Structure 1
Amino acid sequence: MSRTGNCFDPAANPGGMFTVTESIARILAQIAKPTQVEMVALSQAHNRVLAQDEVSSFNVPQHTNSAMDGYAICAEHLSSQESYTLTVVGQVFAGGAFNGTLAPDEAVEIMTGAALPAGADSIVIREAVERDVNQIAFSDAVKIGQHVRQKGEDIKAGSVALSAGCLIRPQEQGLLASLGKQQVGVFKQLSVAIFSTGDEVVAQGQPLPENCIYDTNRFTLTGLLQRMGCHVVDLGIIEDSQASMERVLSSAATQADMVISSGGVSMGKADYIKQALEAVGDIAFWRVAMRPGRPLAFGAVGDTPFFGLPGNPVAVMVTFLQFVQPTLRKMMGQLDWQPHKMSAIAQETIKSREGRIDYSRGVYRINDQGELVVRTTGAQGSGILTSMIQANCLIEIKEQYSEVEAGDRVLIQPFSDLL
């Protein structure tokens, strides 16, 4: 973890609040790009980040070939007339080849993916012709090159097929497979240690005392981290004592590339994260101009980054999406990653507060006019976990607005990245 700037200096913004943009920038400035590379089987490369450019040693496709089932012809030499009759002189399947050169008055029956015969430049689809034994007739005009895939039109030999820093999704796995790759070099998989805090937090399987809650945040964080391809080290629920916090933080930092806690960052009398981090590492305790999720702790134990997220379930997810996700993506080696955002039309008045970004849970869709519209899920309390289940996006209302009205345009952040 790089140490630049004054991210951990409590005097950097005394008594004030950081914007979301400032907070992300300050966090990312502390994070070094990865250097550890390992070779993995292509089948195991999903959700990993490519560590080196992958260059194709051959053209894709290797040969000019047919994109449709039909007949290969030489359109260049067709005379201008209302209908055409050609003699079928052969047949070629994908993986095979036609021996010889096609004459202007000849055609070869061809299947999708088969190499184009010498002398041919176009394909007439099967449905457009009438065949009688070894003769075909058609009347449609033929454009030179129609239904033909050119040699190297996808990837040229010697060109970069995939650049270092790209996330390997199923489509990248397919492309790498088309290049004959069995193994690929990827950046080291990240391990992330997580734990919950609070004497009121109870593990599943135990009786639920009055005024206590079952732990939800570790399971939410586990799902988010696994979706990102991280290995999760689950440290359970930690009691509210500074000694316990110090012990767990020190141990977690040796087991993982990042440590995340939930709860204990609201500066209450029983919130010991700040004191524990000051004792075993560095801490920046911030108030971020956002809702939900204003309290945020960020620091390090040795070279291991630490995030202290709020305790409310929705605030945990929102702060993870805004701060933890971009940090992990940089640590994974993804280059210039940004969350997906789109403009949508608000279907209702949405209240906010000037001076902070509001992240409302929303449902977006395409209306009958083909417009992208969005509405909220209703009540927006940071403990209303069902609102995240009903939602498919966050509605981002900027600091300068106290509300948006129905018909106004707003930014939305779809859950497609992770949720």
Structure 2
Amino acid sequence: MSLFDTHIAVDWSGGNDRGATPKADAIWACVAGEDPVYLRNRQVAEDWLSARLEAEAGRRVCIGFDFPFGYPEGFAKHLTGTDDALALWDWFEARVEDAPKTNNRFDLAGEINASLPDIGPFWFNSLKRDIPHLPRKGRDRTYQGFAERRAVETRAKGSFTCWQMAGAGSVGSQVMMGLPVLARLRRRFDAKVWPFEPLDGAVGLVEIWPSLLAKSFPSDEIKDAGQVRAVANAMAVMDADGTLSQALSAGEGTGAEGWILGVGAEDILEAAMRPQDLPRPPKLRDDCFALPAGVDWTPVDDALARLEAALTPIVGVEHVSHAQASGRVVAAPVMARRSNPPAPNSAVDGYGFAHAATGEGDQVMPLLHGRAAAGGAYSGEVPHGSALRVLTGAVLPEGVDTVVLEEDCSVTATHVAFRGPVKARANTRKAGEDVAAGGHVFDAGHVVRAQDAGLLAALGVDQVPVFERLRVGVLSTGDELVEPSQDAPTDRTYDANRPMLLQLAGCWGFEAVDLGHVRDDRAALKARLDDAATRCDVILTSGGASAGDEDHVSALLREQGNLQAWRIALKPGRPLALALWQGVPVFGLPGNPVAAFVCALIFARPACLKLAGATFSVPQGFMVPAAFEKRKKPGRREFLRARMGPDGVEVFASEGSGRISGLSWSDGLVELPDGEALIARGDLVRYLPYGSFGL
């Protein structure tokens, strides 16, 4: 189970307002699965974070910030009298003065240096005015009472010291200007801070180092934006597969200096990037199907809502190739491995050049030898004012940002001519204009389709985390049933439900398991259910779910399977038996074929999809004119076998649950509301095509 519902990555800045136009080295934030957000200064960033946390009320949120949450050992105690890093947060929050265009970080660093003997530890004053006690160069420092780096930074190759206040790698300004914001967010939202506190609140704050959590990110957008997108998505993936909790555990007990998420857990992160089978989720609760006391007849919508709330995925996770992913349910957010297109390229056959070299009227340019083609990139650079032959799909070489169609050009062996003006970047595609590397592709719960397999391939995503196929067993019971291959007397019935339900399970992407037919023998039925519980994730039965003398299914489930008999205000198919047999959910469907079919579509399908890791599916309906007349009594939702005709939707001549031919005649269902209704020809009714049920 994931620790958090929402994952946010923040790239912080210690500088002043960066202006309205998105820029690098500013503040960027990204929620997993969404686009990065540019935040021009710390005040805007704090307001955005506060608003987002308010909007996420009721959900657990993890926010990662890319600056240290603490200083080397001894610093907090020097300023606050305690080693508590969070007390140091409050100390800075009380003293830092911050406005969009100015702040006191250099002065405060100088004041802290003045409280210590010798010179330092803070350094690098980038202001024109001198600041007492704050040296401009690190080599001018003489104070050695605090370590240059925290313990975690000695293990994180390439990290910077928190004493440097300006210049490349000025983590010191990020920390000093970031901790006051974190202190306020912590106080306002009762946030818990890792690794100083257990992450048992609604909001968790963690320290991240982007290069550790995301090895690559989009190259066609501002680096900071691509980085937070990749990191937020990586955190979500780690949380979904359990590696986030393991990485957090690696930082526990590391002291008051703070810790970087992932340091000390590199083997866990590396393993998380490799395809692997993950643990199976827990089974359903024994009382998951129980109705509240006093409930008798259950409206359809209430029954569906109760099913959705009671069920959770019950299958494990595996990784499969994109080529085998069609029909499978995505188990964790899928991110693009590379951009599509991966580089700027030509959308047409024509001639490419630098747009800045063009103008009004006739244009004539020297034509270079060679060409750029798809799969055959031009190795050189196109000089300013020259042109090159480019073909559709070719990567644009250096010096080319615009292409003119060959039909609009006159060409000789040495020159190409065309008429201007030409629109900048005409007939070209930007890198990642479809999907950027590290960008969100699919959420968990998405059912992969054929077209999705193509998208995954285009983005270089081969291994896809998917839920294992739900194994749906189908069992028929009753002395009256015989196989269609046998000769049957008139008092026996051919088993139509089992092949129908098996085919439905297969159409829905599940692994259909034929559990055969059991006669009205309770011992034999128990043995068959015991066997099914070892081979199936879900069991569908038809018939025997009522309270008659030979209804052994309901009797046995009542004795040993926590049977819950739901009487649903539905026509056809009122009885629906729900139970757990050795932890495996059992859906007892009505015995009449039409009722079994309708109940399977309305209840079993969305329930099985939820158990399989997909979303609880609601069929897509359409309002169409009725080509029939009907007076409907109040009290039950009705589903009529229907098909589209020239004058609207027609319904089958009989509503009898045994008239199975009506299922083949129809191409969908008409859904009539719970209350009384008088349907006249031409009235709009809700039509549910079988395609809305995955058929």
TM above 0.5, yes or no, is: yes
Q: Does 1:282 align with 2:557?
A: no
The answer to which of 285-294 and 1-10 deviates more is 1-10
Report the counterpart of residue 393 of structure 1 in structure 2.
668
> Is the 1:343–1:409 contact (alpha carbons within 8 Å) kept by the matching residues of 2?
no
1:226-257 C-alpha deviation (Å, 9 max, x unpaired): 12332222121211233333332233223211
Contact 2:478–2:544 (CA under 8 A) maintained in structure 1: yes
My pick for the range that moved more, 56-65 or 325-334, is 56-65
Q: 1:279 to 1:120 in 2, by over 3 A?
A: same
Equivalent AA in structure 1 for residue 425 of structure 2: G
In 2, distance between residues paired with 1:310 and 1:236?
Answer: 17
| CA pair 401-77 structure 1, distance change in 2 beyond 3 A | farther
SS in 2 for 1:276: helix
Distance 1:236 1:154 in 2: 49
Deviation at 1:181, TM superposition (A): 3.7
Q: Distance in 2 between matches of 1:140 and 1:270?
A: 87
Contact 1:286 1:296 in 2 (8 A): yes
Cα 1:362–1:103, aligned 2, differ >3 Å: closer, same or farther? Answer: farther
Deviation at residue 258 of structure 1 after TM alignment: 1.0
CA offset digits 1:258-281 (Å, max 9, x no partner):
111112234443322211111221
Going from structure 1 to structure 2, the CA distance change for 1:103 and 1:294 (only over 3 Å counts) comes to: same
Which amino acid in the other structure matches residue 177 of structure 1? A
In 1: Cα distance, 2:367 partner to 2:665 partner = 60
**Greater strand share, structure number:** 1
> Partners of 1:394 and 1:232 in 2: how far apart?
24
Distance 1:354 1:72, change over 3 A: farther
> Is it true that 1:418 corresponds to 2:689 in the alignment?
no
Shift of the 6–61 alpha-carbon distance from structure 1 to 2, 3 Å rule, reads closer
Q: In 2, are the aligned partners of 1:52 and 1:164 still within 8 Å (CA)?
A: yes
Residue type of the partner of 1:338?
S
SS for the counterpart of 2:611 is: helix
Offset of 1:192 from its aligned partner?
Answer: 1.8
Offset of 1:102 from its aligned partner?
5.4
For 1:402, the equivalent position in structure 2 comes to 677
2:445 pairs with 130, 149, 165, which one?
A: 165
Q: Identify if the C-alpha distance between structure 1 residues 119 and 46 changes in structure 2 by more than 3 Å, giving closer, same or farther.
A: same
Identical-pair percentage: 34
Residue 154 in structure 1 maps to residue 434 in structure 2: yes
Query: Which segment drifts farther, 36-45 or 275-284?
Result: 36-45
User: What is the one-letter code of the residue matched to 1:413?
Assistant: L
Task: Determine if contact 1:360/1:395 at 8 Å carries over to the other structure.
Answer: yes
Question: Which residue pairs with 2:285 in the alignment?
Answer: 3
Q: Is the 8 A contact 1:42 1:173 kept in 2?
A: yes
Match of 2:96 in 1: none
Cα deviation, residue 203, structure 1: 0.5
Residue in 2 that maps onto 1:339: 618
**What do residues 327-383 of structure 1 show as CA deviations (whole Å, max 9, x unaligned)?**
11111111x332331322224235233222222223348x89xxxx53335444333
TM-score by length of 2: 0.54
Matching residue of 2:395: 115
Tell me the equivalent position of 1:101. Answer: 382
92-101 vs 398-407, which deviates more? 398-407
More helix by share: 2
Alpha-carbon distance in 2 for matches of 1:130, 1:386 = 68
Tell me if the contact between 2:627 and 2:650 (Cα under 8 Å) persists in the aligned partners: yes
Q: For residue 116 of structure 1, give the secondary structure of its aligned residue in structure 2.
A: coil
TM-score (norm 1): 0.86
Moved more, 37-46 or 127-136: 127-136
The alpha carbon displacement at 1:402 in A equals 1.9
Q: Residue 27 of structure 1 aligns with which residue?
A: 307
- Structure 2 SS opposite 1:174: helix
- Asked whether the 8 Å contact 2:360–2:420 carries over to 1, the reply is no
| Residues 376, 124 of structure 1: alpha-carbon distance in 2 compared, 3 angstrom cutoff | farther
Residues 69, 241 of structure 1: alpha-carbon distance in 2 compared, 3 angstrom cutoff: same
Instruction: Quote the offset at 1:58 in angstroms.
Output: 2.7
Q: Are the aligned partners of 2:471 and 2:513 in contact in 1 as well (CA < 8 Å)? A: yes
Partners in 1 of 2:521 and 2:334 — Cα distance?
50
1:3–1:91: structure 2 CA closer, same or farther, 3 Å change rule? same
Change (3 A) 1:216 1:116: same
SS at match of 2:670: strand
Is the Cα contact below 8 Å between 2:589 and 2:599 reproduced in 1?
Answer: yes
- CA 1:92–1:224 in structure 2 vs 1: closer, same or farther (change >3 Å)? same
In structure 1, the partner of 2:534 is 254
- Is there any run of 5+ residues in structure 2 with no aligned partner, and where? 1-282
The question of whether the paired residues in 1 share the 8 Å contact of 2:288 and 2:311 is answered with no
Query: 1:96 aligns to what SS in structure 2?
Result: coil
